[in-house]
Amino acid sequence: MKSNNPIKFKVSNLRKNISAVLVVDLNSIRKNYFFLKNRTSNSELGISIKANAYGLGYKKICQTLLECGCKTFFVATATEGLEILKVNKSLKVYVLNGFTEENSLLKLIKSGINIVINNIYQLEKLINISSKLNIKASCAIHIDTGMNRLGFDLAEAEKIISKDLKLINISLVMSHLSYSEAKESNMNNLQLKKFIQVKNKFKNIKSLKFSLSNSNGILLSKNFHFNLCRPGGLIYGLNLGKKKIKGIRNALVLLTKVIQIKLIKKGEYVGYGQKFKAKKNSRIATLGIGYSDGLPRNYKGNLSYKNYKFPIIGNISMDLCTIDISSCCGLQVNDWIEVFGNYISIDNFASNCNTISYEISSKIGARVERVYIDNTTEEN
């Protein structure tokens, strides 16, 4: 299935000495941001930019979202938090995983990054270190309402309130929806009910914000929005639901270059393990992309060139894959083949890999060059 909005760009502008490119449409990123912002007019948007902005490249994405008016960002680790702060020192950054050792904790406190506290140990450690440093550490409290991954149990909320919280600066109380892409799931309303209970327990702490919604949580109803929503995948055009979301635009095209073309005879094998045996004389192309670049080894679908679709033959290897191009005699070395984006959406591509688009984009390797386009402007 094709993308809902094809991304236009000139392949002639791509650098010649690279073999794989991820084209990122910044204009689509902006449109996705404002689509969600319009759905949450009374709430702030804080964007999840972890895992290198889901593989898109956090520096350029962060700068683009800053231009849109976004000032709050969420990352997973201390390292990510310290790196993103280099983009702009005025950013409000939250580290979702909290901390695991004191050295990184000290760096986070001194940098003013908000540390998301997930358990009593982290809370007590943060209070103790803040007291020693005489610095009020910036932080958020994560309450688990059903994900059972990170966060305080609901029953532990009383323990938090009983602590001496004057030594730290809590700006946010948050939880995380576990199945928001399924609007019909009873879990959504159950988690909402629990989070309202959480909010009531913290009502005496002034200037405290509350956050429950992730990307698809925004689309459930306004009841889920509270003070701040934390979209991630939908900003980048990635969708977990079964249906396309009208208003969310595709932002990615992954391309790879033909680096060799050869003829093989009937009965010859292609690739590791002799998994493919030619049933007839064939014309095949070797492409400069493999599973270390983000093309999963278990993908068995087609790749695209204009209106042609070419099946992958043989095992995808670390740096290369091979396609049967017998149907297109005009294809040449250095032509660009599309992996996903315009001719097949990343969501459908991910489905053919038995995974989700978040994993596909996040695993696109570092040697795949990110090329950013903005309407008709292209920039490396």
Phi, psi (deg, nearest 5) at residue 374: -140, 95
Q: 187: how many CB neighbours lie within 10 A of its CB?
A: 15
308 is catalytic: no
Kindly list the distances between the CA atom of residue 248 and the CA atoms of 4, 203, 235, 311, 366, in Å, as whole numbers in the listed order.
9, 35, 8, 29, 26
50 is catalytic: yes
Q: How many residues does the chain have?
A: 380
Kindly list the distances between the CA atom of residue 100 and the CA atoms of 76, 113, 373, in Å, as whole numbers in the listed order.
12, 15, 38
Contact 317, 290 (CB under 8 A): yes
Rounded CA separation 11/336 (Å): 7
Q: Return left, alpha or beta for 141; rule: phi > 0 is left, psi -120 to 50 is alpha, else beta.
A: beta
Contact 227, 195 (CB under 8 A): no
Q: Which of 37, 50, 92, 257 is catalytic?
A: 50
Rounded CA separation 131/107 (Å): 15
Contact 174, 210 (CB under 8 A): yes
Q: Which of 183, 272, 275, 306 is catalytic?
A: 272
Contact 267, 336 (CB under 8 A): no
Structure tokens, 215? 């990307």
Structure tokens, 376? 């008709």
| Among candidate residues 366, 355, 252, the one with its CA nearest the CA of residue 298 | 355
Q: 46: how many CB neighbours lie within 10 A of its CB?
A: 23
Give me the active site residues, please: 50, 272
